[in-house]
Chains A and B, each alone.
Chain A
């Protein structure tokens, strides 16, 4: 029982990071129909900005997280303007895939030039371990869980209650319709990519003290995020959140009760099952 509770806690902490990364990916896909393979690179840059602030400038950890959000929102906006927008509205998905992959290699190469291949560590102010009902969890993991939930709640509020947020949703539902009712789709597109990059930055900066920061750290999680987005429904915000937790818990529990060597396999088995039974994903009605 203790093992089960321990793994449940571990799974929820991992799931909150998965969800944050998947949210950014699903937003860009929903609004711009771009499968952003460079999303993991933005997550990686978020972790590096936090690292640079904390290590080079001696800033407190939370200032590092804040700086990562701001910096990545700006980078996201620039990416939309420089890389995605010039392709225009007539580009095929293949064009976007090529641009996104190019961006991935560029950003990873850039990080390699600036910071080198070394594994970096970000110190968290919360290193103590809490024990509850025999379950051990570091305070930083608790922070990750609550901060992620707060960010997700904030995102929901933004999408449902603000004009900008609603125009993002409108554009995701129908791009031409949005144009017809007077929404500036270019501006909304730029805001969406900036928002997506900021979400990646939150995830990267939050997880940085728990993992190793290096130029290729985003690759494994990008793959997972794509599984989550397909699982939850391409472009679905609730789908990304639920999908993130489902995948993390499936991995952890499968690892515990079957074998950890199979946990990756099980993630993709779930994906195949969803695609076979409900190809549009769990949370999306029709394509």
Chain B
């Protein structure tokens, strides 16, 4: 009995170790692309939408026979690790990916994690960061190996404010989420609202991830009679805020951060409750040539397991295809060579892969494109153009 137990303990201790050394061998015909993001916790859905976009693009590339890099034909592979939205875990995860899989590119889906990696990606081993965050500060680091995949959020503030002010009136109530991202968005929108001559009411910020009940905070904000509410955080809690506001009789508009997505908010509220909201354009109907094809392929691939199509999925999907083209143009999987060729790749990307209508990649690594947002008017999403923010 005792011997058996000892053997069992030994096995339990040794097997995972074998597992780790076993999979550290990356096949020489495979390039591993890393992803470190929240796969569990309240942000788990967000992180897995990103992961799904990455994996779908890789599967498509491999099914089409891989990529031609120099003389070799390579297959791609995604290696994901969970960081629970914590920057320290992102750094640990990235180190592990570099050691085990020598990943030339690591995707990260939050600003804190991106900034943590910007401290290490220019030392050996160098790697390219696929940064999925709209936070402009990730560009301020002037990191030569960072790509910023979504548009900067400060581009949204001027048109959003203008539309809401004209449509509903001058008083802006604030119920933003209190993450770092949320606070900075609040500063940007407050400054813009005041610049355009409106009045900003008291800040009722709450943490969208830990708040169980939004009725209290909504009551407080509505007691000041706002015309427009600035809200946002993860989509579904944002939906709860909209629901609470409508239930308490709020008739005005909603100015939403880009983290909240209309299509996911609709899981919580009705289109009628969403009337008068402004936010990022729903992905499945985004005006770009590759979108209908993507929607079709997505449902074909995931079938009954498909979730609502959101930009988390689409933008990262697009990015993998972009990097694959860049690797082929560079004839190498070296991170610096890839970075050098992404701008060119953005210009030659086949039309059916143009999910976002990319035009170029800026010197700081921002993916450039024409951005459209949407407001809900008469029960329909009405798209409008968002001019680019200056870097």
Chain A, residues 142-181, CB within 8 Å of chain B (1/0): the string is: 0000000000000000000000000000000000000000
Interface residues of B in 26-43 (CB under 8 A from A): 39-42
* Chain B interfacial residues counted at CB < 8 A: 34
What is the 8 Å Cβ interface bit string for chain B, positions 221-257, against chain A (1 contact, 0 not)?
0010000000000001100100000011100000000
For residues 87 through 118 of chain A, which have their beta carbon under 8 Å from a beta carbon of chain B?
108, 112, 116-118
Does B220 lie within 8 Å of A255, measured CB to CB? yes
What bracket does the count of chain A residues touching chain B fall in? 35 or more
Report 14 cross-chain contacts, Cβ distance below 8 Å, ordered by A residue: A2-B223, A116-B45, A117-B45, A121-B268, A129-B248, A138-B247, A141-B215, A214-B45, A220-B210, A256-B216, A260-B216, A261-B178, A264-B207, A264-B210
Question: How near does chain B come to A116, taking the closest CB pair, in angstroms?
Answer: 8
A11: Cβ under 8 A from any B Cβ: yes
Contact A211:B205 (CB < 8 A) given known A129-B247, A216-B40, A256-B219? no
A80 within 8 A of partner (CB): no
| Interface hits, A214-228 → B, CB 8 Å | 214-216, 220-221
A10 within 8 A of B: yes
Mark A residues whose CB is within 8 Å of B: 2-3, 6-7, 10-11, 13-14, 17, 108, 112, 116-119, 121, 129, 136, 138, 141, 207, 210-212, 214-216, 220-221, 251-252, 255-256, 259-261, 263-264
Given A10-B213, A112-B44, A117-B44, residue A260 in contact with residue B220 (CB < 8 A):
yes
> How far apart are the CA atoms of A14 and B223 in the complex, in Å?
20
Quick one: CB contact mask for B249-289 with A, threshold 8 Å, 1 for yes? 10000000000000000011000000000000000000000
**Partner pick for B212 among A6, A220, A259, CB 8 A cutoff:** A220
User: In the complex, what distance in Å separates the CA atom of A99 from the CA atom of B47?
Assistant: 29
Q: Is the CB of A252 within 8 A of B216?
A: yes
B181 CB to nearest A CB, Å: 16
Query: Does B206 lie at the interface of the complex (its beta carbon under 8 Å from any beta carbon of A)?
Result: yes
A142 CB to closest chain B CB (Å) equals: 13
Q: Provide the bound-state CA to CA distance between A22 and B219, in Å.
A: 26
Residues of chain B in range 189-206 having any CB-CB distance to chain A below 8 Å: 202-206
Q: How far is the CA of A117 from the CA of B207 in the complex (A)?
A: 19
Q: Are A10 and B215 in contact (CB under 8 A)?
A: yes
- Given the complex of chains A and B, what is the CA–CA distance between A260 and B211 in angstroms? 10
Chain B residues with CB under 8 Å of A17's CB are 212
Q: Given the known A-B contacts A13-B215, A212-B240, A261-B206, are A112 and B248 also in contact in the complex, defined by CB atoms under 8 Å?
A: no
The answer to whether B240 and A211 touch across the interface, beta carbons within 8 angstroms, is yes
For A210, what are the chain B residues with a Cβ–Cβ distance below 8 Å? 213
Inter-chain CA distance A11–B220, complex, in Å, is 13
